[in-house]
Amino acid sequence: MYRHQWANGNEVDLPTGKVVCVGRNYIAHAQELNNPIPSVPLIFIKPTTAYQAFEGEVVLDAALGTHHFEAEIALLVGRKLDKHCASPLEGIVGVGLALDLTLRDEQDKLKKLGHPWERAKAYDGSCPITAFSPVTAVEQLQNNKMQFWLNNELKQVGHSQMMIFAYEKLLLEICRFCTLLPGDVILTGTPKGVGKLTNNASLRLQLNDEKPFTAHVSIQ
């Protein structure tokens, strides 16, 4: 069973909460999928069963179809954040990386019908996530860079300063509608370069200049 981990190998003393995802938070990614640029954050949720550790083996269900990767910076919530919270960044205790896995063909069908995306986004194992680096000061959230390699080829580069909606704006908007609880995770959006995963593909995620996390894909 998945549990949040710190980068030093220790278990995070928080429950495993929901995943609140932000769509189209990089202009170039919205454009690559021919989507409009949002004027407010596009928000959807993955359940706790979506988590799996981005470590060693990322297991995917072949019966669901083709899985596409979307690499993202992930924020770990350490205390309750609701619509009355004025400084939500103070509630973030960890920063890590994740893949917002997507069944793209299914998503395209749902979008054409005007239906919700959960069938394409919220399935079991659809959120492989790394261990978290502790955040002890808000300043650590001002300048985060993410890189993702597929089969040793750099596919995605994202930066917190490239986002349409910065961390604080995202958190304030989410908390208007949805209270965040300790152990919840925010996926902050993916940059351009998304694509499909294949069996036995090697994966690598790196936050800032920290040691990269590695895994490989097992489609069963």
pLDDT in tens, 129-138: 999 999 999 9
Give a yes or no: residue 139 inside a domain.
yes
Q: How many domains does the chain have?
A: 1
Give a yes or no: residue 3 inside a domain.
no
Give a yes or no: residue 1 inside a domain.
no
Tokens matching residue 68: 């596409």
CA atoms within 13 A on the CB side of 197: 34
What is the Cα–Cα distance from 149 to 157, expressed in whole angstroms?
9
Give a yes or no: residue 2 inside a domain.
no
Strand order in the sheet with 56-60: 56-60, 213-219, 202-207, 145-150, 153-159
CB 85 within 8 A of CB 175: yes
Claim: this prediction has a pTM higher than 0.85: yes
Give a yes or no: residue 12 inside a domain.
no
Q: Confidence band (pLDDT; 50, 70, 90) for 31? A: confident
Give a yes or no: residue 8 inside a domain.
no
Q: What is the CATH number of the domain that holds 123?
A: 3.90.850.10
Q: Which domain holds residue 118?
A: 19-219
Give a yes or no: residue 91 inside a domain.
yes
Q: What is the pLDDT of residues 137-151, one digit of tens each?
A: 999 999 999 999 999
Give a yes or no: residue 143 inside a domain.
yes
Query: Roughly how many angstroms between the first and final C-alpha of the chain, as a whole number?
Result: 19
